[in-house]
Amino acid sequence: MKTASGRLRLKIELVNGPFAGACTTLFRHPRLAELWPEYAIRTYWIIRATVPLMEEAEALARARARDPVAAGVAEFLTAHIEKERGHDDWVLEDLELLGVERSAVLARVPSATVASLVGSHYYRIRHCHPVALLGYVAVMEGHPPSPELIDRLVASSGYPRAVFRAFAVHGELDLEHRADLYDAIDGLPLAPAQESLMGLAAMTTVELLTRSLEEIVEEAA
């Protein structure tokens, strides 16, 4: 791969098999209607941390004077934060359509897996370099659900299409967001160590997202 974004995508593909398998197991599960609310709750746990995490990375990047990579990260995040703001509320609204009260979701303590997923990035952006967060974003924006998948979920769950609004809208938005991210990455004067850090963050994200999906199925068994 001749570009940094291409090399990052390749690293993600190296660990993507188990994640794809976990998605297939969940989305085609015979008890999908029972499992979907838990999936949405775990999705909320992650998404509600996204904007605060990016804001922290942006502030840390801006504090690195005369660092061109940090400056580029800050510029990308400044624009991207506003594109992601409020998406956690969409998930809560979808859950309310399923009869899951917002207060009940907020009262839940997030799983250790989700805490590790989010927390590992706080560590890397503060103690290594804010560019690490772009690896996380690459994974979160890198698997937009297709219209065909939404159709299958509606048919298999028996839920109205409105229940999958947040999931479906991300399928549309993430295509544009992903392209913007790749352009930003390829515009950075990355050192090899910074590319490695970004790749490690991405691969950790895939691993922990996979584990979170597996836990949903295991806990329902």
| 3-state SS, one letter per residue, for 127-185 | HCCCCHHHHHHHHHCCCCCCHHHHHHHHHHHCCCHHHHHHHHHHHHHHHHHHHHHHHHH
221 pLDDT above the threshold of 90? no
**What mean pLDDT do residues 166-179 have?**
76
**% residues pLDDT > 70 (the chain):** 97
Whole-number Cα distances in Å, 98 to 89, 108, 127, 158: 14, 17, 41, 11
| Cα dihedral sign, 109-213-196-55 | negative
| Residue 170: pLDDT band with limits 50, 70, 90 | confident
**What mean pLDDT do residues 194-216 have?**
97
173 pLDDT above the threshold of 70? no
Q: In whole angstroms, what is the distance from residue 64 CA to residue 50 CA?
A: 22
Query: Based on the number of CB atoms within 10 Å of its own CB, is 215 exposed (0-12), middle (13-18) or buried (19 or more)?
Result: middle
Q: In whole angstroms, what is the distance from residue 182 CA to residue 118 CA?
A: 22
Q: In whole angstroms, what is the distance from residue 98 CA to residue 117 CA?
A: 26
Both structure tokens of 185: 């990455």
**% residues pLDDT > 90 (the chain):** 86
**What mean pLDDT do residues 61-65 have?**
95
Q: In whole angstroms, what is the distance from residue 125 CA to residue 74 CA?
A: 12
Q: Which pLDDT score is estimated for 167? A: 86
Whole-number Cα distances in Å, 40 to 89, 91, 110, 125: 12, 7, 12, 27
| Cα dihedral sign, 107-212-44-74 | positive
| Residue 175: pLDDT band with limits 50, 70, 90 | low
pLDDT tens sequence across 82-124: 988 888 999 999 999 999 999 999 999 999 999 999 999 999 9
Q: Which pLDDT score is estimated for 174? A: 62
80 pLDDT above the threshold of 70? yes
Contact 220, 26 (CB under 8 A): no
